[in-house]
Structure 1
Amino acid sequence: MSETMRVAAVQAEPVWFDLAATTEKTVSMIEEAAAAGVELLAFPETWLPGYPIFLWSHPVPEQLASIDRYHRNSPRIDGPELARIREAAARRKVSVVLGFSERDQGSLYMSQAIISADGTILLHRRKLKPTHAERTLFGESDGSGLQVVDTPFGRMGALNCWEHIQPLVKFALYAQHEQVHVAGWPCFGIFQEHPSLGAEACLAVTRTYAIEGSAFVLASCQMISEEGAQQFLVNGSPSPIIDGGGGYARIFGPDGGPLGDPLPTDQEGFIVADIDLGAIAMAKTFADPVGHYSRPDVFGFTVDRRPRHVAVLTGEGSAFSGALDPEAAAPPEPMLA
């Protein structure tokens, strides 16, 4: 396992609700990152096909046309768009963490995929609980995606947006000794006047994640231009919740210190940093919440990571192949506390 690597957090605007064009842009950014020596590239929440700002900016009856378009432009995990991105990652030998609106039959999920430098999907997860208005469009996940996976660059995990303010969700990854974490965020160019929804608060909880977990954290985010704001018109003008720009990508070290040079909030690109996993040991010397700084004799914590299915169909000719594992009925193993 390499102790050092070059990582990058994306700050960019999707081609709003255009799956083909945003896939093309994704491949181009992988190419650009590879040319800069980047080994791990992190994309924002629902990068494909862009975060559905209309959920927050339009009354439900006015959302219907946008919802239809959004469904049609959301990729499948086994679809050609993901395949093309995986091929680009393998061709340029870049690991990619991709946020996307996943279409699974008639439902959508706020998903992330950790893709290795050979194109293999190491982890496919869905946001455990969509936030507020997101629940009108997206389904929620079971606990099977709360995993940290081994990579050539250490133990890696990912969460979306406000999963970073849910203490138990975070602790589930801390307990697996996560070393590199990707925090996928939407565009911070909306709701800037709301204290808990704005960039300052969201970056604070992201930095807290780095300190609590003693992990390197890549915070990737979308941004929105004046042209992009035309996708969200209210009475002929861009929605009043849109402030424009909104790019606040960051990289934090395991001591919470910022790494790399931030971009202007209206500039596309990615923040690059060279990280050394050896710095994690020093951070954990001060506080390791799942090691010397824990109290399992006082607190108990269990995470049920068994996959859940709406039906278990048996017998020949079944069109459903997702039966539970034989061990699924067993009680879950308690995790570190």
Structure 2
Amino acid sequence: MAKVVRAAAVQAEPKWLDIDEGIDQVIGYIGEAAAGGAQIVSFPEVFIPGYPWWIWLDAPAWGMQFVSRYIQNSMTRDGEHMTRIAEAAAANDIFVVLGFSERSGSTVYMSQAIINGSGEIVAVRRKLKPTHVERSVYGEGDGSDIAVHDTDLGKIGALNCAEHLQPLTKYAMYSMGEQIHVASWPSFSVYRGAAQALSAEVNNAATLTYAVEGQTFVLAPCAVVGEAGQDLFCDTDLKRQLLQLGGGFAQIYGPEGSALAPQLAETEEGILFADLDFDLIDIAKHAYDPVGHYSRPDVFQLLFNPRKNERVSAFGTSDPLVRDIMTGQVALTEGDTD
């Protein structure tokens, strides 16, 4: 395991609702991050094909004009677009953590792909619970989406946006020994001055808290709303007031709470770089380790179901109960329901 990892977090406006331009943009940033010496590059929440800001601006009926286009420009986890990104990761020998809208049939999910420097897809995870009006667009993940993965760079995990306000989700992640965490965010420019809970101040504090609580490095890529986004989603002056320009507040935090990269202006697009010295993790955990020496499992314990939630399951002879019934070791009687 490397002792120092050079990391990158992207702050940029997506290529709204255009999957092909979005893939080209992501590949460009992969190359730019690698040229800057990065071994891992992270992207904002649903960067392809962009965050569906219409859900915060008007009635569902008005927003239906975007739905088909959004679904059609969402990626599958194993299609040609993911293959292009994986090839770019391999060509640049860099890990990629990409936020994207994942299409499965006509359902979309707020997903994050972790791809290693050989172009292998380590994992694709889905946001466990879309936030507020996001549930009008996206499906939900399950316990298998709460995971940390052993890689050549260390133990890597990822969450989206307000998942960083879920204490039990965070504790489960901490328990897996995460060393590099990607906290993917959309821009912080909606309802500015009217909804403090959606502000950069509050949500960057949540990201910082994650770093300090989990004693992990946190890469926090963040999208930007530019004129293209405003023009697409805002057909009135009122909507332009609700969804303002800017909102980019990307950052990289150390496990003891330090900001490791100078921030870009909130309207600026670019990449933040930082060198992650893993010795800082040991120093931070020496003081606070909520899943180690600073825990009290005799008082508090977390119940966690990490299994995948299959919508349809087929019974077969591999199922122990079915096998016992078929071989006569268990007999069913009238009235049995279990």
Same structural fold, with TM-score higher than 0.5 when normalized by the shorter chain: yes
Once the 2 structures are TM-superposed, how far is the Cα of residue 102 of structure 1 from its aligned partner? Answer: 0.4
Structure 1 runs of 4+ off > 6 angstroms? 324-327
For 1:293 and 1:237, the matched residues in 2 are separated by 49
CA contact (8 A) 2:214 2:255 kept: yes
CA contact (8 A) 2:230 2:244 kept: no
Question: 1:67 aligned to 2:67?
Answer: yes
Once the 2 structures are TM-superposed, how far is the Cα of residue 314 of structure 1 from its aligned partner? Answer: 5.2
CA contact (8 A) 1:222 1:247 kept: yes
CA contact (8 A) 2:129 2:141 kept: yes
CA contact (8 A) 1:220 1:249 kept: yes
For 1:201 and 1:325, the matched residues in 2 are separated by 48
**Equivalent in the alignment of 1:158:** 158
- Give TM-score scaled by structure 1 length: 0.92
Q: Taking every aligned residue pair, what percent have the same amino acid on both sides? A: 46
Q: Secondary structure at the match of 1:30?
A: helix
Write the letter of the residue equivalent to 2:243. Answer: I
CA contact (8 A) 1:192 1:199 kept: no
For 1:229 and 1:29, the matched residues in 2 are separated by 23
- Within a 5 Å distance, the mapping from 1:125-164 to structure 2 comes to 125-164=125-164
Q: Secondary structure at the match of 1:254?
A: coil
- Give TM-score scaled by structure 2 length: 0.92
CA distances 1:243-293 after superposition (whole Å, capped 9, x unpaired): 111110000000111001111111101110011111100001111001110
Gaps of 5+ in 1: 316-323, 328-337
Q: Which has the higher helix share?
A: 2
Please say which of residues 82-91 and 300-309 is displaced more in the overlay. Answer: 300-309
- Within a 5 Å distance, the mapping from 1:193-272 to structure 2 comes to 193=193, 194-235=195-236, 238-272=239-273
Once the 2 structures are TM-superposed, how far is the Cα of residue 59 of structure 1 from its aligned partner? Answer: 1.0
Write the letter of the residue equivalent to 1:232. Answer: F
Gaps of 5+ in 2: 322-338
User: In 2 relative to 1, CA 325–297 (structure 1 residues): closer, same or farther, beyond 3 Å?
Assistant: farther
CA contact (8 A) 1:86 1:119 kept: yes
**Equivalent in the alignment of 1:58:** 58
CA contact (8 A) 2:12 2:269 kept: yes
Write the letter of the residue equivalent to 2:172. Answer: A
Q: Secondary structure at the match of 2:76?
A: coil
**Equivalent in the alignment of 2:15:** 15
Q: Secondary structure at the match of 1:301?
A: coil
Q: Secondary structure at the match of 1:183?
A: strand
For 1:140 and 1:240, the matched residues in 2 are separated by 30
**Equivalent in the alignment of 2:327:** none
Write the letter of the residue equivalent to 1:138. Answer: Y
RMSD: 1.7
Q: Which structure is larger by alpha-carbon Rg, 1 or 2?
A: 2
For 2:188 and 2:76, the matched residues in 1 are separated by 26
Q: Secondary structure at the match of 1:274?
A: strand
Q: Secondary structure at the match of 2:264?
A: coil
Q: Secondary structure at the match of 1:158?
A: strand
Question: 1:108 aligned to 2:111?
Answer: no
Once the 2 structures are TM-superposed, how far is the Cα of residue 326 of structure 1 from its aligned partner? Answer: 7.7
**Equivalent in the alignment of 1:187:** 187
User: In 2 relative to 1, CA 233–121 (structure 1 residues): closer, same or farther, beyond 3 Å?
Assistant: same
Once the 2 structures are TM-superposed, how far is the Cα of residue 191 of structure 1 from its aligned partner? Answer: 2.3
